[in-house]
Amino acid sequence: MLKKIILFLSFLLLCSPSFSRADMRPVPKIRAGIPPFDILHKILASSRESRAPAIKTTDSGPWITWLADADTRLQSQQILQNPIQKLFAVRNMGNQLEVSPGLVDYGVRFLHTPVLLITAPNNSRAIEFFFTDYNFLTPEIRKNIDHLRPALTSPKLKGKSAEKPMEHLDFVEANIDYQVQQAVLRYEDRLKNGRLVIIGAVFDLDNKYGRGKNRLILININGEKNGKKLRRARMTKKLDGKLLKFVGRERRI
């Protein structure tokens, strides 16, 4: 009899809603992957083991203000093999001038970089977010993505789908063109006196232009978008033929 009572009470306990919820409740976990301790170890070990010579400061300043998409696939070494002191990076979702105007101003007007380079990957995650329901993101992130609307709602893009890889590239190019145009208006004085060149380019990670993977394709210089004109421009026509093929948005596939 006692055994039956114990079994009955055990059954009631298992059926209890509070017990069931507690049992099914997920255990909080740190993000899967390398633990923070190991990351800290790598940071400090890399600093200790570095044998690079001390960096000497120069008065020449950086060469490039780089307005880039906040995408970890893109790193400064893809712009210059040794970017130290030569590249001032500004990054945000969608490589947008409107989101980080102060920092870009700092690079162009205070550091006096002769080049403002605006880049995006050929498959932009910021643009992917724009065309999906991104209400799950924080209000601050949503606000950044909302700023893409003027660039991505051009009549020229009507009827195209960002879900199709080649048409997605049309949206990427349209956004770069928009950001370059905004920069041309903002830094008109420096363009007129020849102290600044504004370049828009796509990191072609997947060979969508047919010129090889992980290539930087220049598609816009100071607002000029025509490939033939870009290749005949004063600053590009002297380029080696092997490099000139990376100028222009024509898709050779």
State the CATH number of the domain containing residue 169.
Answer: 3.40.1050.10
**Residue 37 pLDDT level (bands cut at 50, 70, 90):** confident
Average pLDDT over residues 144-153: 96
What is the percent of the chain with per-residue pLDDT over 90, rounded to a whole number?
Answer: 65
pLDDT in tens, 41-56: 777 777 666 555 555 5
Please give the single-letter amino acid code of residue 201: A
Tell me the C-alpha distance between 27 and 202, whole Å: 42
Average pLDDT over residues 128-134: 93
Strands of the sheet containing 115-121, edge to edge, are 87-92, 64-69, 115-121, 197-204, 215-221
Q: Is the Cα dihedral 224, 228, 229, 231 positive or negative?
A: positive
Report the number of distinct structural domains present in the chain: 1
- Whether residue 251 is contained in a domain is answered as no
Say if pTM beats, i.e. exceeds, 0.75: yes
- Whether residue 231 is contained in a domain is answered as yes
DSSP for residue 77: G
- Whether residue 73 is contained in a domain is answered as yes
Domain that holds residue 183: 63-244
- Whether residue 46 is contained in a domain is answered as no
- Whether residue 117 is contained in a domain is answered as yes
